[in-house]
Amino acid sequence: MNGTVTPTTSGTYDFVVVSNRLPVDRVFEPDGSASWTRSPGGLVTALEPVMRQNEGAWIGWGGQPDLEFEPFDSGGIRVIPVVLSDDDIGNYYEGFSNDTLWPLYHDVIAPPSFHREWWDSYVEVNQRFADAAAAASAPGAVVWVQDYQLQLVPKLLRELRPDLTIGFFNHIPFPPYGIYSQLPWRTQIVEGLLGADVIGFQRVADASNFQRAVRRLKGYVTKGSQVEVPLIDRSPGVRVFGEIKRQGSFRTVVARAFPISIDASSFEALARTPAIQERAHQIREELGNPKTIMLGVDRLDYTKGIGHRLKAYGELLAEGRLSSEDVTLVQVANPSRERVQAYMALRDEIELTVGRINGDYGTIAHVPISYQHHGFPREEMVALYLAADVMLVTALRDGMNLVAKEYVACRFDEDGVLVLSEFAGASDELKRALLINPHDIDGLKETILQAVSMPKRDRAARMRSLRKRVIEHDVSRWSADFLKVLESRAHHGSPGHPL
Ligand code: GDG
């Protein structure tokens, strides 16, 4: 970061979001024609008003190999493509992002693979995203880069456009240094992130892990949420900070927690719709009117602890402490990353376990697990949340876990029990959930029984408190908090804005 680069020609957008995937999906009609539909994620909902108020653009990949198209407007957002080839998808996305960084950042639950050609592709594709952002951004624009696939973009973009204010948000955990240090390219990634003015994490612990990595790898001083990045970089570990400070030649980067949330009011509004409430009753009937419906909703991912959940449930059925006459577990396992080997193995393992439990403890009339290996429309998800007496979130490691917050937002009836893993970021906020350690199978079993038999008054008291938190801290507050801090950095110590 020496600031001695030629700024590229600037664009016209004052607010630019950069994420791996665009907020639109290409859909093909039976007649072969194609169109774009808006993906309904919380991030898009939160950023849409900011995009409309400022000249906003969103840069990302269209989701298919070699998909080139002209930028277009979608509901007030300028959509600008980055093209990825089949090789890029295999190496940068499925390889380095999903088979190196993802397992490494989730406590090495699965072993990460380190391949130098994947890294080369990651660098190359990050450069492509940075180039696109540099070309689209107006002078002095605010750029917000999203997630672990693009950790080099802040530095690459700052080199091209020192006039920009750059934010980065990491949606997944940042691992403890003992794990992070396995990464052969650990220093380059830290340097990449430090190109930002503000780096957001889900949890306070993630921000501390990152700051420790900065101290260990770069020797920079951290103070509270601030990292002092010398403008003239010395070799790592050379302790020259007193001198640098006297010269005032460093920029400060804010690295702290901004826990993400959901569009709580839109979930509640759906839940209050009579048709969706009717559908929730219908679901219960279709399941044979069990006393208790338990629900799991996850991408089929080894971080989500689906196997641990099934183990606890299977044992409770085996011991006769739960019966399939009384309880049904609906498990939505949304297909994910199906070309990555670890995900293929996980699917086989989960489906074998589901088959065994249903075979061993089911009757003709009652199946203990209703297993759904496909996605559902959002309305059906909300009906499932309303129908579920107990929501099971048993992640082994999860940046936040939005499903937990969605369940709470939907339960305007102040009923339902949330069982929530301590290893999900959401547990920092949702303290009145029944918190569990998913590795402790006996503890998980006891907690499931506690949830199933919790008196209504206790359920209501807990749910009221959970709802207060989620409603007051929704996704628009999250983006407003982040952008406020980011905009306050606009004149603080980047090379474009000297101290
Ligand atoms: C990453 C981090 C962090 C799931 N199945 C269906 C469906 N979903 C929706 C859920 C929820 C979202 O997908 C999943 O979000 P999570 O937070 O649970 O998990 P990740 O996908 O792993 O997300 C995570 C998040 O980023 C945000 O920062 O919380 O920790 O890993 O919104 O509702 N939606 C519909 N049908 C489905 O079948 N419509």
At 492, is the pLDDT very low, low, confident or very high (cuts 50, 70, 90)?
low
Say if residue 40's pLDDT is above 50: yes
Say if residue 8's pLDDT is above 80: no
The CATH number given to 13-260+477-490 is: 3.40.50.2000
Q: Which residue has its alpha carbon closest to ligand 1 atom 21? A: 299
Say if residue 236's pLDDT is above 60: no
Say if residue 240's pLDDT is above 60: no
Ordered DSSP codes for 357-370: HHHHH--SS--SEE
Which residue among 38, 98, 297 has the greatest number of ligand 1 atoms within 8 angstroms of its CB, and so is best to mutate? Answer: 297
Query: Is 171 in contact with 46 (CB distance < 8 Å)?
Result: no
The CATH number given to 264-472 is: 3.40.50.2000
At 76, is the pLDDT very low, low, confident or very high (cuts 50, 70, 90)?
confident
Say if residue 171's pLDDT is above 60: yes
What number is the average pLDDT over the span 154-159? Answer: 98
| Residue closest to 155 by CA, chosen among 199, 117, 116 | 199
| Residue closest to 133 by CA, chosen among 290, 295, 9 | 9
Q: What is the pLDDT of residue 117?
A: 98
Say if residue 243's pLDDT is above 60: no
Average per-residue pLDDT for the chain: 92
Say if residue 359's pLDDT is above 60: yes
Say if residue 386's pLDDT is above 80: yes
Same topology between domain 13-260+477-490 and domain 264-472: yes
427-469: per-residue pLDDT in tens?
Answer: 999 999 999 999 999 999 999 999 999 999 999 999 999 999 9
At 232, is the pLDDT very low, low, confident or very high (cuts 50, 70, 90)?
confident
**Ligand 1 atom with the shortest distance to the CA of 173:** 30
Q: Is 402 in the pocket of ligand 1 (CB under 6 A)?
A: yes
What number is the average pLDDT over the span 84-107? Answer: 97
**Ligand 1 atom with the shortest distance to the CA of 375:** 38
The mean-pLDDT minimum among 51-55, 369-373, 464-468 falls in 51-55
Which residue among 44, 306, 402, 470 has the greatest number of ligand 1 atoms within 8 angstroms of its CB, and so is best to mutate? Answer: 402
- Give CA–CA dist 225/205, Å, rounded: 12
- Give CA–CA dist 270/266, Å, rounded: 6
- Give CA–CA dist 304/336, Å, rounded: 12
Q: What is the pLDDT of residue 36?
A: 87
Q: What is the pLDDT of residue 493?
A: 46
Domain boundaries, the chain: 13-260+477-490, 264-472
Say if residue 406's pLDDT is above 80: yes
Q: Is 272 in the pocket of ligand 1 (CB under 6 A)?
A: no
Which residue among 400, 410, 474 has the greatest number of ligand 1 atoms within 8 angstroms of its CB, and so is best to mutate? Answer: 400
| Residue closest to 427 by CA, chosen among 450, 407, 400, 461 | 400
What number is the average pLDDT over the span 244-252? Answer: 68
Q: Is 376 in the pocket of ligand 1 (CB under 6 A)?
A: yes
Say if residue 113's pLDDT is above 60: yes
Query: Is 165 in contact with 196 (CB distance < 8 Å)?
Result: no
State the CB neighbour count (10 A cutoff) for residue 119. 20
Quote the ligand 1 centre to 297 CA distance (angstroms): 9
At 47, is the pLDDT very low, low, confident or very high (cuts 50, 70, 90)?
confident
Q: Is 43 in the pocket of ligand 1 (CB under 6 A)?
A: no
Q: What is the pLDDT of residue 55?
A: 80
Q: Is 398 in the pocket of ligand 1 (CB under 6 A)?
A: yes
411-422: per-residue pLDDT in tens?
Answer: 999 999 999 999
* % pLDDT > 70, the chain: 93
